[in-house]
Amino acid sequence: MSVKNISITPGWEKYMTKEYQDLVERGPYGKQKKVSEMGSFKEVLEEHPMCAGCAMTLFIRLTMVGLPNPEHTVLIGTAGCGRLALTQTSIPFIYGNYGDTNAVASGLKRGLEVRFKDQAKDVVVMAGDGGLADIGFSAVMHSWFRKERFTTIMLDNEVYGNTGGQESGMTERGALLKMAPKGKMFEKMDMMGLAQTAGVAYIARLTPTNPTRVASVVRKAVMIAREVGPTFIQAYTSCNIEYAIPTPKVLDDAREIEAKRYGFTEIISDEAKAYLDSIDTSKKVKK
């Protein structure tokens, strides 16, 4: 789809909401947006019910800025907090069953490749740690082993936030949560290591403390997925409710966790590296 498809029929401008007019005039379709342009249009179009100060919402907004080709992107999510904001973006969003994201994405990407020979269509999965590491684990691993060409972004708040604060596989050992009344008994799952084992082309771990970095990592991940193979971003997007982080301290917490155990890490395959070298990501992204 191009900006032409969403353009307002002449004469109808005054009937469209400000958000929609901003999307057409200043939105990301047909032009690569920068983080500094955030606020000139709404990355998330409508009101969303995410909690005040939610780090995940910030991360999703930054992702929307980072997508290299939003007019040819389809998002996939599953149950969890993230989809409450993802459904409100200006990009088609598939909300399937529990933990099915990477299987749906596999079929979707292959189907789009059959239908659109001359137009790359980007598929991006955005789901929580429960959705990807627990219930969707098999589909995630197999999509990686099959080298499916799409991006998986884990919104890792280390808890089942949407269902009210239960332990997940990505919870830190010892954390006291619902369904872990004596504290979590085992280690946080090493999804980065598993991604490496499965041969994921680009793996990144980060927090939303550096907005430009988030946008750039997302851009790289989506482009490498298009040209080379599967990519994985594991993002710390704290749950300030379940972990009782005061709203004004959400980014302080992210900085603290980043320094302690969630430092920015990139693992890039040789093939992905060669691809990145072959393009200049500082310039406008090739469509």
Partner 1 sequence: MSDSAGVKDVTAEKPAETKEAVELTAGDRQKVVTPEYMFFEAPRERAFITGSEAAKEAIRRSNVDVAISYPITPQSETMQQVGSLWAEGYVKEYYRGEEEIGVMSAIAGSSRAGARSMTATAGPGLMRGMEVIASWPGGRIPAVLLIMCRVVNAPLAIQPDNVELAYLLNCGIILLHGENQQDFFDYTMKAFLISERPEITLPVAVAVDGFFVTHARGYVNLPSKDIKLPPRDPYAEAVPAMDNENPPARLSRDAPIQKSNFISYQVHASWQQEVWAANERARRYINKYMGGLIEVVNPDAEIMLIASGSAVSQSREAVRQAEEEHNTKVGLIKVRSIRPFPTPELRAACKHAKRIIVPEFNYMGWLHREIVTALYGHSKAEIFAGPRVYGGMSMPTEMILQTIFPEKKFIF
The residues of the shown chain that bind partner 1, judged by CB under 8 A, are: 1, 5-6, 49, 71-74, 76, 83-84, 87, 90-98, 100, 103-116, 121, 138-139, 142, 146
Q: How far is the CB of 56 from partner 1 (least distance, A)?
A: 15
From the centroid of its chain, how far is CA 192?
15
Give the residue with the Cβ less far from partner 1, 131 or 211: 131
Q: How far is the CB of 109 from partner 1 (least distance, A)?
A: 8
Locate tokens 């490496």: which residue? 196
The encoded tokens of residue 269 equal 């395959």
Residues 6+ apart with CB under 8 A from 114: none
Give the residue with the Cβ less far from partner 1, 95 or 243: 95
Give the residue with the Cβ less far from partner 1, 35 or 51: 51
Q: How far is the CB of 213 from partner 1 (least distance, A)?
A: 26
Give the residue with the Cβ less far from partner 1, 105 or 272: 105
* Crossing angle between the packed helical segments 211-227 and 270-278, to the nearest 10 degrees: 110
Q: How far is the CB of 103 from partner 1 (least distance, A)?
A: 4
Q: How far is the CB of 122 from partner 1 (least distance, A)?
A: 9
Give the residue with the Cβ less far from partner 1, 84 or 257: 84
